[in-house]
Structure 1
Amino acid sequence: MEGSLGTHLGPQLPHPFPQELEEARSWKGARDVQPLDGNVRRWGGLLLPNNPPYNTGAFRFELTFSPHHPMEPPCLTLRTPIYHPSVDLEGRVCQPLTAPGRWQPTTRAIQVLQDLLLQLDSPDPRRLLRPDVARELQERPEAFRRRAEQHARLHAEPRPEPHA
């Protein structure tokens, strides 16, 4: 059994960016960052927003790297439902950093995660995938905040204890 696991992960899936995974694991804005199902091109973890209305919970994310990475951007998806103008109902994120024509091969995975955390901490109605939510954020910010907090209470995971 031990040999088959090594064969499965060894020559077929060499780790393309171990230092990037270590950067993400040591970053305080996320927790439990690790390859999903042993696939080094699919990472999962919990994002830990700093500011209301999302800072009461943790949000599961998935970062998927193309076989052509770093020439192509990774795909970032929030797996935890969130009420946010820049995240659609399927968890896709409006992230200019990874947009076609804007992606730079020197951009690191940690920068993609940091950019998402910045979006959660400071929602920008100009980065929108949900026009109705963006309009509410602009026209009725208190109503937006209440709805986003309620949504986070219902869907977000409990925040893990801080590292000692």
Structure 2
Amino acid sequence: MAGRIAEELREARSWSGACDLRPLDGNLLRWGGLLLPNKPPYSAGAFRFELAFSPHHPLSPPRATLRTSIYHPGVDTAGRVCQPLTSAQHWAPTTRAIQVLQDLLLLLDSPDTERVLRQELSRELRLQPELFWRRAEEHTRCHAEPRPDRPAP
């Protein structure tokens, strides 16, 4: 298992959607890094995340958590993410960590009223989209980290 996770870390480090990707506290089962969204308003910043692997990886899915506060219907205030790819019923042992990170970035780039953990934000996005986007932009400005000039490998 450690060999596969190390290989997946090398693979994920070559992806341009994240940077500063590394084991946390030297633990290969916990990765940290910065996600770099592609679309406004989230593309104005970078979002710190953690990916925690089960000791049973790849038989069990990893858990993604956003450590940077975000105004998004698919991410709750504790940073838990609505990510069907990592749910037990959708997980496949052949799924790679880079796919989990790509799915997470897609979630951030495209807020969806179906992949929801915060009903009030989903409702706002559906009924008052201009207000939602304005609040998301302000929240990103206040909470997101500055984007690095160039993602580190």
TM-score band, normalised by the shorter chain?
over 0.9
- Cα deviation digits, residues 91-124 of structure 1 (max 9, x gap): 0000010112111110000000000101111111
Provide TM-score, normalisation by structure 1: 0.89
Please tell me whether Structure 1 or Structure 2 has the larger radius of gyration of its CA atoms. Answer: 1
What is residue 67 of structure 2 aligned with on the other side?
79
Residue 96 (structure 1) aligns with: 84
Shift, 1:14, TM fit: 4.5
Give the AA of the match of 1:128: V
- Using the alignment, how far apart are the partners of 1:123 and 1:163 within structure 2? 24
**Which residue is equivalent to 1:5?**
none
Q: How far did 1:21 drift?
A: 0.2
**Contact 1:15-1:40 at 8 Å conserved across structures:** no
Please list the CA deviations of residues 30-68 of structure 1 after superposition, one character each: whole Å capped at 9, or x if unmatched. Answer: 001000000000000000000011000000000000001
Give the equivalent residue in structure 2 for 1:25: 13
Q: Does the Cα contact within 8 Å between 1:44 and 1:61 map onto a contact in 2?
A: yes
Instruction: Tell me, yes or no, if structure 1 residue 118 matches structure 2 residue 118.
Output: no
Query: Which has the bigger relative contact order, CA under 8 A and spacing at least 6?
Result: 2
Aligned partner letter, 2:88: P
Question: Percent same amino acid among aligned pairs?
Answer: 67
* CA RMSD after TM alignment: 1.4
Counting only pairs closer than 5 Å after superposition, residues 1-150 of structure 1 correspond to structure 2 as 14-150=2-138
Quote the offset at 1:146 in angstroms: 0.4
Contact 2:5 2:29 survives alignment (8 Å): no
Please, what TM-score do these two structures have when normalized by structure 2?
A: 0.96
Contact 2:44/2:147, CA 8 A, preserved across alignment: yes
Which runs of structure 1 show a deviation greater than 3 angstroms over 4 or more consecutive aligned residues?
13-16
C-alpha contact 1:84 1:123 (8 A) present in aligned 2: yes
Matched AA of 2:7: Q
